[in-house]
């Protein structure tokens, strides 16, 4: 199999807020030390909904990259790049579009959903229909093994897997594949070659899944195989196709969902967000003016934390003791709402302090961000070109 790799992107359509931090960025920061990660600015995706006003995209791109760095994404661990600087994404998107049934795209649940949510925009466009396919190209081009997603994105990953499978089925038929695969089997050494053939037969003739898993594990351990031979042998196990594109897995991550100041989804367009690099006095003002449980009209009225958006902030930001103090104090009217909000304000400001510090160096010298992205684009492009070489060859477009 291809090496483990994580790919994830974000659309540059405005400044990032704490909802992005708790929902995705914190997870990226954790993942970057565990696996090779590629994080990209999905500027072409932003165009699928903002094609009539692209002015926001360039500024948001650089602001967002500074937000990532401020949040702790580390360019010495992860690759940071801009999607449109790696034009191979567009090439793969085009080539995949040739064989992707229209119904697959129309069935994606978020297609109709987003059209309804963004009713003020005309999204009856070819680009918008095709955006899950562009997402598939973004991931498949790096042969990513894992894609961090929330529950609502799982159908997109499932579709990426179907697209990869269909591509391998249509184009993985290599000339002389059987002979090349048999040659590769010999390279395993006689003992392992015998076991490989037995396991392959067990899977192909009796459908024994554990035999397939055992054979895959053996191939993972085989040190002396070239990448191409390994892929042939993986393909040979299940049929007579080479695996050109690999099927990614959804990496379902536990992220805390931080709602907006009004308890709805945090979004800049709803006016209920705290920016990732918000100034201290703005944080204080925003939290102090947050709505609370309506039952607490007077200081002496008891409240119910479950009916208050501030409580959701305590869930994310406070320790057990503070949460207990807030919940008890709320229900007994022992504390006032401003008192209850203070630990949340303090925790947000504490969380943002290192972010402001990290961001400052990039704000002082924007060329640093440009250099990080230039390196990231070079690295991403090399990986993408490796895949495209195989894709073009498989589709008869290499003209060599």
The reply on whether position 340 binds ligand SF4 by CB under 6 A is yes
Q: How many alpha carbons lie under 13 Å from residue 291 in its C-beta half-sphere? A: 12
Angle between helices 320-331 and 309-317 (to 10 degrees): 160
Cα–Cα distance between 376 and 374 in angstroms, integer? Answer: 5
Coil, helix or strand at residue 190: helix
Which of 43, 63, 174, 293 is close enough to bind ligand SF4 by CB under 6 A? 293
The reply on whether position 308 binds ligand SF4 by CB under 6 A is yes
Least distance from C-beta 108 to ligand SF4, angstroms? 38
Which of 83, 145, 246, 292 is close enough to bind ligand SF4 by CB under 6 A? 292
Which of 5, 296, 348, 362 is close enough to bind ligand SF4 by CB under 6 A? 296
**Is residue 373 within 8 Å of residue 80, measured between CB atoms?**
yes
**Is residue 204 within 8 Å of residue 212, measured between CB atoms?**
no
Token representation of residue 351: 């969380």
Nearer to ligand SF4, 168 or 318 (CB): 318
Least distance from C-beta 295 to ligand SF4, angstroms? 8
Site string for ligand SF4, 235-274 (x = CB under 6 A): ----------------------------------------
Token representation of residue 270: 């709803």
Nearer to ligand SF4, 74 or 304 (CB): 304
Across the strands, what pairs with 39? 8, 80
* # residues near ligand SF4 by CB under 6 A: 14
Nearer to ligand SF4, 54 or 302 (CB): 302
Least distance from C-beta 268 to ligand SF4, angstroms? 23
Q: What angle do CA 204, 205, 208 make, to 5 degrees?
A: 70
What's the sign of the alpha-carbon dihedral 303, 264, 66, 278? negative
Which of 181, 337, 359, 369 is close enough to bind ligand SF4 by CB under 6 A? 337
Residue 298's Cβ-count burial label (10 Å; 0-12, 13-18, 19+) is exposed
Angle between helices 190-206 and 177-186 (to 10 degrees): 130
Mode of pairing for the β-strands spanning 146-149 and 37-41: unpaired
Nearer to ligand SF4, 170 or 335 (CB): 335
Least distance from C-beta 254 to ligand SF4, angstroms? 24
CA distances from 202 to 6, 213, 216, 221 (A): 32, 11, 13, 20
CB-based contacts of 377, cutoff 8 Å, min separation 6: 81, 82, 85, 86
Least distance from C-beta 216 to ligand SF4, angstroms? 51
Show contacts with ligand SF4 in window 315-334 (CB under 6 A): 326, 330
Which of 196, 311, 317, 362 is close enough to bind ligand SF4 by CB under 6 A? 311
The reply on whether position 348 binds ligand SF4 by CB under 6 A is no
The reply on whether position 199 binds ligand SF4 by CB under 6 A is no
Cα–Cα distance between 77 and 107 in angstroms, integer? Answer: 37
Which stretch in 42-50, 63-71, 197-205, 304-312 sits in contact with ligand SF4 by CB under 6 A? 304-312
Least distance from C-beta 279 to ligand SF4, angstroms? 22
What's the sign of the alpha-carbon dihedral 148, 153, 154, 159? negative
Which of 23, 305, 343, 376 is close enough to bind ligand SF4 by CB under 6 A? 305
Least distance from C-beta 258 to ligand SF4, angstroms? 16
Binding residues vs ligand SF4 (CB under 6 A): 292-293, 296, 303, 305, 308, 310-311, 326, 330, 335, 337, 340-341
């Amino acid at each position: 199999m291809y090496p483990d790799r994580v790919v994830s992107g974000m659309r540059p359509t405005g400044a990032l807020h704490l909802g992005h931090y708790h929902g995705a960025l914190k997870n990226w920061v954790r993942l970057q030390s565990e696996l090779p990660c590629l994080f990209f600015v999905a500027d072409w995706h932003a165009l699928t909904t903002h094609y009539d006003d692209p002015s926001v995209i360039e500024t948001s791109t650089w602001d967002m990259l500074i937000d990532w760095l401020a949040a702790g994404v580390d360019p010495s661990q992860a690759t940071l790049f801009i999607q449109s600087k790696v034009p191979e994404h567009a090439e793969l998107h085009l080539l995949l579009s040739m064989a992707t049934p229209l119904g697959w795209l129309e069935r994606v649940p978020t297609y109709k959903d987003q059209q309804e949510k963004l009713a003020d925009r005309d999204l009856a466009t070819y680009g918008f229909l095709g955006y899950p396919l562009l997402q598939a190209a973004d991931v498949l081009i790096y042969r990513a093994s894992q894609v961090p997603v929330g529950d609502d994105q799982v159908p997109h990953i499932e579709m990426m897997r179907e697209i990869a499978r269909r591509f391998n089925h249509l184009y993985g038929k290599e000339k002389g594949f059987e002979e090349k695969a048999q040659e590769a089997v010999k390279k395993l050494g006689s003992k392992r070659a015998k076991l490989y053939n037995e396991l392959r037969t067990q899977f192909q003739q009796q459908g024994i899944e554990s035999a397939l898993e055992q054979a895959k594990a053996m191939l993972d351990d085989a040190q002396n195989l070239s990448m191409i031979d390994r892929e042939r042998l993986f393909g040979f196990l299940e049929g007579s196709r080479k695996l050109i594109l690999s099927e990614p897995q959804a990496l379902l991550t536990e992220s805390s969902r931080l709602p907006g100041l009004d308890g709805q989804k945090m979004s800049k367009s709803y006016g209920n967000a705290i920016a990732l690099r918000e100034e201290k006095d703005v944080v204080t003002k925003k939290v102090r003016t947050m709505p609370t449980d309506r039952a607490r009209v007077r200081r002496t009225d008891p409240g119910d934390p479950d009916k208050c958006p501030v409580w959701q902030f305590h869930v994310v930001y406070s320790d057990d003791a503070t949460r207990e103090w807030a919940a008890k104090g709320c229900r007994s009217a022992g504390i006032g709402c401003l008192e209850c909000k203070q630990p949340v304000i303090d925790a947000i400001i504490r969380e943002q302090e290192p972010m402001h510090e990290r961001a400052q160096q990039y704000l002082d010298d924007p060329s640093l961000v440009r250099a990080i992205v230039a390196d990231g684009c070079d690295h991403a492009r090399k990986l993408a070109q490796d895949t495209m070489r195989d894709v073009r060859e498989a589709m008869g477009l290499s003209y060599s």
